[in-house]
């Protein structure tokens, strides 16, 4: 049970569970939820536990409902370009399965080798290619869900278009298990990209300068399939771990990718970097080199975890305000005396300041928490949001309440009461 009691959010609290249930079918999920509703026992659904907000953490006296064993790809329809999967199917496994049919499932969170489609849907997970292709909600057509009353229902559709009634499938996506337990997901697929991807790398002397390049790319009309930022702290952490020689490349790197196969588009992306003040820039000469650079981006978070507990931010601001937000993050690091590393899905304004604290240093932990809250407030002040893809969970409830306001919170509570009248589904999370 201890191995299922929390996700990857090291700073989020966890309670003591009453029991662990490893579900193997939608009917088992239905029966467990119905029994818990009858007796007023909380239910905390979970997938692979790769979340970063405490959304899958146990609460006292709960039943942990593990869905990882429901891991079958039920259908791939190449003609309709859809797939139907159980919630425990790992993201990369789905991608591999549909690739055999010449198809592609675009959402690609950094945890894609381990995270499950059910968890991706519950948190509306994003990823590297979201800047061009969108997030999980953009690919979920339909769901099978168990509501808080123990009803097994289907919402959404299989067709490309459909506007019958409210968008209940869209409502469940991103609800973090507070409205229902996802037992099946129907996703839309795209044809595999046929162009040869081109990766452009630019090195900058500061976060703000790199942010100016991001704003320039947004204004240029280019549609990169990825635009990622990695700062010197992350580069050094990856170097110390994997000895990749990245820290010598520059203080801040921007990694851009275009998948259209258009060399002119790659050249324009590089020109945006240069004109925004890149100390140097280059285009990848082969796929292996390009993939190595993006692998370093994915390694940044676990590399930092080796240095101490990481408090992970997930703010998102309008793309034109990325330079200002990066400047404010640096200011809060200085004011609060904390170590902040930065990675970002910079192309869509989704920034991940990572506050690293020495293990056992309670004073530093308190300063880190103060910086965390100040960064949330600044994102809201700039017209952004406190979470772009990780979810609210336990860590961002105050920020979420500040962002949406009391009137909108009442709407959230009304929806929760309708779908989970006993209040047993993942209580204490989100709202």
pLDDT string in tens for the chain (431-residue length): 999 999 999 899 999 999 999 999 999 999 999 999 999 999 999 999 999 999 999 999 999 999 999 999 999 999 999 999 999 999 999 999 999 999 999 999 989 999 999 999 999 999 889 999 999 999 999 999 999 999 999 999 999 999 999 999 999 999 999 999 999 999 999 999 887 788 999 999 999 999 999 999 999 988 899 999 999 999 999 999 988 887 888 899 999 999 887 788 999 999 999 999 999 998 876 667 777 777 778 888 889 988 888 999 999 999 999 999 999 999 999 999 999 999 999 999 999 999 999 988 999 999 999 999 999 999 999 999 999 999 999 999 999 999 999 999 999 999 999 999 999 999 999 99
How far apart are the two ends of the chain, measured CA to CA in Å? 26
Query: CB–CB of 104/190 below 8 Å?
Result: yes
d(CA 50, CA 120): 10
For residue 82, the 8-state DSSP code is E
Question: What is the DSSP code string of 384-413?
Answer: -BS-SSS--TTTTHHHHHHHHHHHHHHHHH
Tell me the whole-structure pTM to 2 decimals: 0.94
Ramachandran quadrant class, 352 (left: phi over 0; alpha: psi -120 to 50; beta: rest): beta
For 170, the token pair is: 């869209």
Helix (H) or strand (E) holding 268: helix 263-275
Angle at 212 between CA 206 and CA 213, to 5 degrees: 95
Helix (H) or strand (E) holding 21: strand 19-22
Q: Which residues contact 168 (CB under 8 A, 6 or more apart)?
A: 155, 156
Helix ranges (H only) for 14-167 are 26-39, 91-99, 117-123, 130-133
């Amino acid at each position: 049970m201890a191995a299922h009691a929390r996700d990857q959010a090291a700073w989020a609290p966890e309670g003591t569970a009453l029991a662990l249930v490893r579900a193997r079918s939608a009917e088992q999920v239905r029966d467990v939820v119905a029994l818990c509703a009858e007796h007023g026992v909380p239910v905390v659904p979970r997938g692979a536990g790769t979340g970063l907000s405490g959304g899958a953490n146990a609460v006292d006296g709960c039943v942990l409902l593990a869905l990882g064993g429901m891991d079958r790809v039920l259908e791939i329809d190449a003609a309709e370009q859809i797939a139907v999967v159980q919630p425990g199917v790992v993201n990369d496994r789905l991608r591999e399965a549909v690739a055999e049919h010449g198809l592609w499932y675009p959402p690609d969170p950094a945890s894609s080798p381990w995270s499950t489609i059910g968890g991706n849907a519950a948190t509306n997970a994003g990823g590297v290619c979201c800047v061009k292709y969108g997030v999980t909600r953009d690919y979920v057509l339909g769901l099978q869900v168990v509501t808080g009353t123990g009803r097994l229902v289907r919402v959404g559709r299989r067709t490309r278009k459909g506007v019958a009634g409210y968008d209940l499938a869209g409502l469940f996506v991103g609800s973090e298990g507070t409205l229902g337990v996802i037992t099946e997901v129907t996703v839309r697929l795209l044809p595999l990209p046929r162009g040869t991807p081109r990766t452009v790398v630019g090195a900058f002397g500061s976060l703000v300068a790199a942010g100016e390049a991001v704003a320039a790319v947004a204004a240029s009309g280019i549609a990169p399939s990825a635009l990622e930022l990695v700062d010197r702290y992350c580069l050094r952490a990856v170097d110390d771990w994997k000895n990749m020689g990245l820290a010598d490349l520059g203080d801040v790197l921007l990694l851009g990718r275009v998948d259209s196969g258009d060399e002119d588009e790659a050249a324009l992306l590089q020109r945006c970097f240069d004109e925004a003040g890149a100390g140097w820039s280059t285009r990848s000469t082969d796929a292996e080199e390009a993939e190595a650079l993006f692998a370093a981006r994915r390694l940044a978070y676990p590399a930092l975890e080796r240095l101490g507990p990481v408090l992970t931010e997930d703010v998102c601001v309008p793309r034109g305000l990325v330079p200002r937000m990066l400047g404010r993050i640096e200011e809060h690091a200085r004011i609060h005396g904390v170590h902040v590393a930065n990675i970002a899905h910079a192309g869509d304004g989704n920034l991940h300041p990572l506050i690293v604290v020495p293990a056992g240093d309670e004073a530093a932990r308190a300063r880190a928490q103060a910086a965390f809250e100040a960064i949330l407030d600044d994102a809201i002040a700039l017209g952004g949001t406190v979470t772009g893809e990780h979810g609210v969970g336990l860590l961002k409830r105050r920020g979420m309440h500040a962002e949406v306001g009391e009137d909108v919170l009442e709407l959230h509570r009304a929806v929760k009461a309708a779908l989970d009248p006993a209040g047993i589904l993942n209580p204490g999370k989100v709202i």
